[in-house]
Structure 1
Amino acid sequence: MNEHPHAVVIALTGGVAAGKTAVARRFEALGVSVHDADVAARAVIEPGTSGLAAVVDAFGVGVLDDAGRLDRPAMRRHVFSNPSAREALEAIIHPRVRQWLRERALAERGPYCLLAIPLLAENIAHYRWVDRVLLVDVPESVQMARLIARDGIDETLARRMLAQQASRAERLALADDVIENSGDESALDHAVAELHQRYLALANAR
């Protein structure tokens, strides 16, 4: 599948609690399509999909709830303390998520679109086909404070969540464009408006 998307494809990423959603909403308000890896991860294991069938093959029918859907809390508990189970689950879901995003990008008829991919740095080898990477960046101290406030967790757990992700330096090394988001959310309006013009110009030049 090496057909190239017609639209310019921008991968939007950032660490946990960096503000990716706030940025994505602003692009959507400008009429830009945003295709979200988290939405894809749910869609590819809906009842009736090959993804859910593969999960049941790997883990047994015990991972389904009464309605025949994946019992997410049970699955989370199962993979949390079991690295090999998590790898098995990711081996089913991640390739399907990439395929889903790729198909959305290929079907895109606008000048450009965004793919919201939280774990881009961890999986960049599989996303060489995107045109640019847009990083929503915040210092780790800000991430910690937001995570603790947002999820009501303690500092130890917040640190552990950050440690599971790529480092800020790894993400910055990948980024073509960076939105610095440690200040007030209203500052995002200007940053997004500027990037919107840049991406439209890129699409025109293509």
Structure 2
Amino acid sequence: MRVLVRPAEPADFAAVARLTVAAYEADGQLKGESGYAEVLADVSGRAAHGRILIAVDPATGQVLGTVTFVLPGSRYAEMCGPGEAEFRMLAVDPAAQGRGAGAALVEACVAEATELACTALVICVRAGHAEPAHWLYQRRGFVRVPEQDWSPLPGVDLLALRLALTAAPPGRDDSGCGSADREE
């Protein structure tokens, strides 16, 4: 199936919020969590500090998935450093899984980071959850960075993954990542 990835617009935010919470609930990632569903549902808050991308079915316009792309120093950046970009809260509608939306969103993040001359793209994934997601990242070339694993709450263990990107073009250093006339 063909999937179109585009920036989310405010009119998409309610659908993005519902989808993200539903995907995390279906995956069992909200059990015992206090307040994270509200963070996931706050799409306008995330959009103010990052870039919300959505995967849509081009025939119907239905939102199939979403991801938040952020740069170092932004409110939602958890582990990216200078010259790196990060994506967070990748979610695919449980009814749309297996249709390529997740892979399309990852590729859009890789393209965005490459366009910004970032040297790497990073993500944290929850240990013990979302095996298909782990496989997606591994297949794309992300590698584990165990020294960057961390735990924001007891019982929530996050595994660090990193994808090295082509070096920045000549004349542009790592600090150029994110400075291409974009406000985050």
| Same-fold call, TM cutoff 0.5 | no
Name whichever structure is richer in strand by fraction: 2
Higher relative contact order by CA 8 Å / sep ≥ 6: 1 or 2?
1
> TM-score, with normalisation over the residues of structure 1?
0.28
Name whichever structure is richer in helix by fraction: 1
